[in-house]
Amino acid sequence: MRTCSGYPVTVPDRLPDPAWNAYWRIDPRPDGSPAPDGPLVEAIEDKNELIAAGQAVAVIPAGVAIGSPRPDLTTIPLDGVEPSHVVLATRAGDRGRLVAAFRKCAQALLTGS
């Protein structure tokens, strides 16, 4: 996190929920400093241009980081940031095969097993 602590984080939208905004902006940063405001972007191409120009960074889920978003960009893991938790909620007693297949796939991708 030290590598990008001074960079603003791009966000697709700022919502009225301060917890949502803080989560995606890693605000406050692990050292307690506030996250600088970043530009609002709506299109991934605009986000990538800001990142390539060195004007911002983006926080993306680790699974999205497989490969590179563009040849001139790279992804790095954020050290010092707590991992998020994933929860799958289904209707009680739902034994549908699509739900089971999704659960199995998500578990394999999230845990590597």
Q: What is the mean pLDDT of the chain?
A: 77
Give the pLDDT confidence score for residue 13 in this predicted structure: 55
Nearest to 73, CA basis, from 55, 88, 87 = 55
Give the pLDDT confidence score for residue 101 in this predicted structure: 92
Residues counted in the chain = 113
- As beta bridge partners, residue 11 has 40
**What's the Cα-to-Cα distance from 23 to each of 20, 33, 47, 96, rounded to whole Å?**
5, 14, 18, 33
If you average pLDDT over residues 79-107, what whole number do you get?
84
CA distance 72 to 106: 30
Residue 2 has, within 13 A of its CA and on its CB side, a CA count of 0
Residue 92 confidence (pLDDT) above 70: yes
Residue 29 confidence (pLDDT) above 60: yes
In which band, very low, low, confident or very high, does the pLDDT at 1 lie, cut at 50, 70 and 90? very low
If you average pLDDT over residues 18-24, what whole number do you get?
81
Give the pLDDT confidence score for residue 2 in this predicted structure: 46
